[in-house]
Amino acid sequence: MRRENGFSLIEMAVALFVIALVLGSILVPLTTQVEQRQISDTEKTLAEIRDALLGFAAANGYLPCPDKNTGVGGAGTANDGIEDVTAATGVCVATGQGNVPWVTLGVGSMDVWGNRFRYWATPAFSQHAPGATFSLSSPGTIKVCATNGCPTWWTADAVAVIISLGKNGLGAIKAATGNTNPAPTSADENENVAGPGQFMSRTITTADSAAGEFDDIVVWLSRNVLFNRMVAAGKLP
């Protein structure tokens, strides 16, 4: 009898199993690389927004007000990218956090996950005319914590903070709809939604971590960096 050439079912099963293992070992690093690229792209945009804030302050003598988001009353239109300020007093309409005023600054409006960047500025530094604008004696009041409960922190006198609420987007304003995503489930992520004077910036962790889920990306503007730029521009003292 002539023996037929070819693979047996067992040989094919073994081959498919080996291929699956190889593909699995390739796809996991690729997924990690994609996620890291998304984080890096978001960090780059946040840095550009911080630079734009410095340029705006150097040109105008104060930081821009937030673009108010859903549920905030007063002058202006929510989620349109234009800073909202009460003209008669020069006070920001959004007294807590709002959106980065991307139209006013000419910067990116959302992170790579399709959510608006959050923004908060110390009221003294975002005070517009006819009110008195900030001076070298104006204190920064924003605290950015490094650990839960804030026994340690990165800074206690920042003048502005810009936040991407990360891949999970919990608590963020969805750019496509203007609606608010579900609230955060961890205390640290909630800190960055509730604000306004204390925020969290720490290592990314998953929901099953003892520290709770956290994937927010936080950038802040140092009081001294702002003063340096203002002095160089001849706006201070």
State the Cα–Cα distance between residues 29 and 203, nearest whole angstrom: 20
Confirm whether 3 is domain-assigned.
no
Sign of CA dihedral 89, 108, 58, 123: positive
**DSSP annotation of 147:** S
Confirm whether 228 is domain-assigned.
yes
Instruction: Residue 16: give the domain boundaries.
Output: 9-232
State the Cα–Cα distance between residues 163 and 49, nearest whole angstrom: 10
pLDDT in tens, 119-160: 999 999 999 999 999 999 999 999 999 988 889 999 999 999
Which pLDDT score, from 0 to 100, does residue 161 have?
97
223, pLDDT greater than 60 = yes
Which pLDDT score, from 0 to 100, does residue 47 have?
95
Mutual orientation of helices 223-232 and 9-60 as an angle, nearest 10°? Answer: 50
Other CB atoms within a 10 A radius of the CB of residue 55 amount to 14
Confidence of residue 111 (pLDDT cuts 50, 70, 90): very high
* Cα–Cα distance list, 26 to 17, 21, 38, 133 (Å): 14, 9, 19, 55
Confirm whether 13 is domain-assigned.
yes
Which pLDDT score, from 0 to 100, does residue 216 have?
96
**DSSP annotation of 79:** T
Helix, coil or strand: residue 154: strand
**DSSP annotation of 80:** S
Which pLDDT score, from 0 to 100, does residue 103 have?
97
Query: Which tokens is 52 given?
Result: 């734009």
Other CB atoms within a 10 A radius of the CB of residue 232 amount to 10
Confirm whether 4 is domain-assigned.
no
Q: How many domains does the chain have?
A: 1
Confirm whether 50 is domain-assigned.
yes
Residue pair 128/90 in contact (Cβ under 8 Å)? The answer is: yes
Confirm whether 31 is domain-assigned.
yes
Confirm whether 217 is domain-assigned.
yes
23, pLDDT greater than 80 = no
Residue pair 121/197 in contact (Cβ under 8 Å)? The answer is: no
In DSSP notation, 175-235 reads TTT-PBPPPPSSHHHHHHHH-SSEEE----B-TTSTT--B--EEEEE-HHHHHHHHHHTT-
Confirm whether 89 is domain-assigned.
yes
Which pLDDT score, from 0 to 100, does residue 60 have?
93
Long-range contacts of 150-155 (CB under 8 A, 24+ apart): 150/198, 154/201, 154/220, 155/220, 155/222
pTM above 0.85, yes or no: no
The position carrying tokens 């960096």 is: 225
